[in-house]
Amino acid sequence: MPGGRAPGSLRPGTPARAAVAALALALMLAGCTGDGGTAPTAGNTGTPSSSTPGSGTGTGGSASASPGGTVSSEPPAPVVRTRIDGLQLPWSTVFLPDGSAVISERDTALLKSVEGGQIRTIGQVPDVVPGGEGGLMGLALSPDFAADRLLYVYFTAADDNRIARVRLDEAGTETGFRLGAPEVIFSGIPKASTHNGGRLRFGPDGFLYVGTGDSQRREQPQDRNALGGKILRLTRDGEPAPGNPFPGNPVYSLGHRNVQGLAWDSDGRLWASEFGPDVNDELNLIQAGGNYGWPEVTGAPHREGFIDAKVVWPSTAESSPSGLEIVGTTAYLGALRGQRIWAVPLRGENAGAPVGYFTRQYGRIRSVSLAPNGELWALSNNQNPDFVLILGLPK
């Protein structure tokens, strides 16, 4: 198993130390649309949505959908069922076979369990070094969790971002779990105060997909031998997955700025949400080996050699799309600066016009996840305290 891969290189080895730029400077220079613990409008320009604050329906802003698409139906409107308070900067949610949830907290590095409306602490992931947008981020359950009890975590360490797996053993504790020692399976993903990526999802093919950011290194996304600004595809042991577009290379797609959401539709197509700079947040349909343009282009410029986004939000103040989930023929995205949940109707490879729900009613939304019972869980971000919003979806 690889112990680490140095930033900018795919060869195993000790990761080089990455200089962490000051967040204020990063926002000024990079036009970052992530959070970094900042106020909702920091680092962005653009006109806020004109939809009514607190509204549960309505377009909630402007965006352009994929040209040539014929998707015109309005997506199903989610309905709030309950809210569970007591989190601090939650980032990701996974659901165990019994229906209970495990949530990561970015800055505390804690794993929390949520069951029956109660939040309890499972334990703290060691060696996490939070700062800016870094910390304990994405989670993914092993496809064989019932047998191997493995939870995969993406986190920022002293020198890089890395992926580890940890056992959640059943135990006679208050939470019912004992957290095992993490085993790092992949390292060397570049870190910075912003643009750390962090999303993990196991695909229908059983391989682990990883969204990374460019870590403010604009040369990385177009370099297929670098790990920044990519979607990676790995085996469960952290090796490049067989069948990857570049043999022996973990890179699945390139030209990304800061991938925040990964989800598959019912036909097995991979979609990804991505932060733009001060314009052009994106929802992309991912192709193996595809180049999505950053930093050469953003949005849908129709430039040869690059793949256009399927949905573009020209104003990042209306979106900053983070976690992504696809339910039926609708993609749901949590919006940080946009402070809403976007619903995008999908039909095949086309995307329709997004509709915004709960605009500025529940603050910044970091993640949306589908529970086994068909409910949609949304995580608030920077609300002090944060909470889980549980939504019902029309059948």
Which helix (DSSP H) or strand (DSSP E) does residue 367 occupy? strand 364-370
Q: Which pair of tokens denotes residue 14?
A: 């000790």
Q: C-alpha distances in angstroms, 80 versus 109, 263, 357, 388, 392?
A: 28, 22, 11, 11, 6
pLDDT tens, 173-206? Answer: 676 789 999 999 999 999 999 999 999 999 999 9
CB 296 within 8 A of CB 221: no
CB atoms within 10 A of CB 123: 17
Question: What's the whole-number mean pLDDT along residues 55-72?
Answer: 59
Do the strands 136-141 and 150-156 form a parallel or antiparallel pair, or are they unpaired? antiparallel
Could you check whether the bond before residue 385 is cis, i.e. omega within 30 degrees of 0?
yes
In this prediction, residue 34 has a pLDDT band, given cuts at 50, 70 and 90, of low
State the pLDDT at residue 341: 98
Domains and CATH numbers, the chain: 46-392 (2.120.10.30)
Give the strands of the sheet with 259-264, arranged side by side. Answer: 64-65, 311-315, 279-286, 270-274, 259-264
In this prediction, residue 68 has a pLDDT band, given cuts at 50, 70 and 90, of low
Question: What's the whole-number mean pLDDT along residues 334-347?
Answer: 97
Closest CA to 119 of 79, 82, 174: 174
Q: Which pair of tokens denotes residue 83?
A: 């809210």
Rounded distance between C-alpha atoms, residue 103 and residue 87, angstroms: 9
Residue matched to tokens 């991938």: 259
In this prediction, residue 64 has a pLDDT band, given cuts at 50, 70 and 90, of confident
CB 300 within 8 A of CB 308: yes
In this prediction, residue 171 has a pLDDT band, given cuts at 50, 70 and 90, of confident
Specify which of 8-17, 38-47, 66-75 reaches the highest per-range mean pLDDT. 66-75
Residue matched to tokens 């993640």: 367
Question: Chain-centre distance of CA 155, in angstroms?
Answer: 13
Rounded distance between C-alpha atoms, residue 316 and residue 48, angstroms: 9
Q: What are phi and psi of 146, to 5 degrees?
A: -60, -30
Residue matched to tokens 């036909």: 267
Question: Radius of gyration over alpha carbons of the chain, in Å?
Answer: 19
CB 291 within 8 A of CB 305: yes
Specify which of 7-21, 43-57, 77-91 reaches the highest per-range mean pLDDT. 77-91
pLDDT averaged over every residue in the chain: 86
Closest CA to 355 of 365, 345, 366: 345
In this prediction, residue 172 has a pLDDT band, given cuts at 50, 70 and 90, of low
Rounded distance between C-alpha atoms, residue 227 and residue 236, angstroms: 18
Question: What's the whole-number mean pLDDT along residues 128-141?
Answer: 98
In this prediction, residue 56 has a pLDDT band, given cuts at 50, 70 and 90, of very low
Tell me the DSSP string of 138-153: EEEE-TTHHHH-EEEE
Rounded distance between C-alpha atoms, residue 377 and residue 375, angstroms: 6
Q: How many residues does the chain have?
A: 395
Rounded distance between C-alpha atoms, residue 38 and residue 11, angstroms: 35
Helix, strand, or coil (residue 316)? helix
Asked which of 14-18, 73-77, 195-199 is least confident by mean pLDDT, the reply is 14-18
Closest CA to 124 of 106, 142, 150, 141: 106
Asked which of 8-17, 90-99, 221-230 is least confident by mean pLDDT, the reply is 8-17
Task: Check pLDDT > 70 for residue 72.
Answer: no
In this prediction, residue 4 has a pLDDT band, given cuts at 50, 70 and 90, of very low
State the pLDDT at residue 29: 32
Rounded distance between C-alpha atoms, residue 188 and residue 158, angstroms: 11
Helices (H), the chain: 23-30, 145-148
Task: Check pLDDT > 60 for residue 21.
Answer: no
Question: Chain-centre distance of CA 135, in angstroms?
Answer: 13
